[in-house]
């Protein structure tokens, strides 16, 4: 899913158990990957499709397809200390809460990004990873 579309869906408020709330990236990804089968998941999938999202089977990926990534949250005492996005070994994007920096490692090189403070900043870096993967 393009980063702009993900941002839009994450910024909206949805009906969650009778209350209007934003959903987390984890909830959105689980819905889009059909890992959850709830009314909210169905609504999120429909919203993505209405905004230009596409569905595909594993044998017919579009040209600009970005592979699913595995997301690992590193925690100490319940607090998130870092997040690792592993794009099937082709690229690993790691964000460190302590210094608000991210590192992108590919088979070609490693890049460091400073001042990655907000989720929006992290999504900007993730968008860069998508662009690199599409080239």
pLDDT of 6: 81
State which residues form the domain around 123: 70-134
Mean pLDDT by 10 residues, the chain (135 residues): 78 82 84 81 84 63 61 86 80 86 82 80 73 58
**Do 82 and 125 belong together in one domain?**
yes
Residue 36: its H or E element:
none
**Do 39 and 86 belong together in one domain?**
no
pLDDT of 64: 57
pLDDT of 59: 52
Give Cβ neighbours of residue 59 (< 8 Å, ≥ 6 apart). Answer: none
pLDDT of 5: 78
pLDDT of 127: 73
User: Model-level pTM?
Assistant: 0.46
Nearest alpha carbon to residue 15 among 50, 54, 42: 42
- The answer as to whether 92 is a domain residue is yes
Total domain count, the chain: 2
Find out whether 130 and 2 touch, Cβ atoms under 8 Å. Answer: yes
């Amino acid at each position: 899913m393009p980063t702009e579309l993900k941002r839009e869906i994450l910024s909206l408020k949805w009906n969650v158990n009778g209350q209007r709330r934003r959903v987390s990236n984890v909830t959105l990804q689980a819905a889009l990957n059909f890992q959850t089968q709830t009314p909210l998941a169905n609504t999120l999938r429909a919203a993505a499709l209405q905004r230009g999202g596409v569905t595909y089977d594993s044998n017919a990926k579009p040209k600009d397809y970005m592979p699913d990534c595995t997301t690992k949250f590193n925690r100490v005492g319940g607090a998130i200390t870092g997040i690792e996005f592993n794009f099937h070994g082709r690229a690993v994007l790691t964000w460190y809460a302590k210094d608000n920096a991210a590192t992108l490692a590919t088979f070609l090189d490693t890049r460091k990004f400073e001042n990655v403070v907000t989720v929006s900043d992290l999504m900007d870096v993730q968008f860069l990873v998508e662009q690199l993967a599409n080239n």
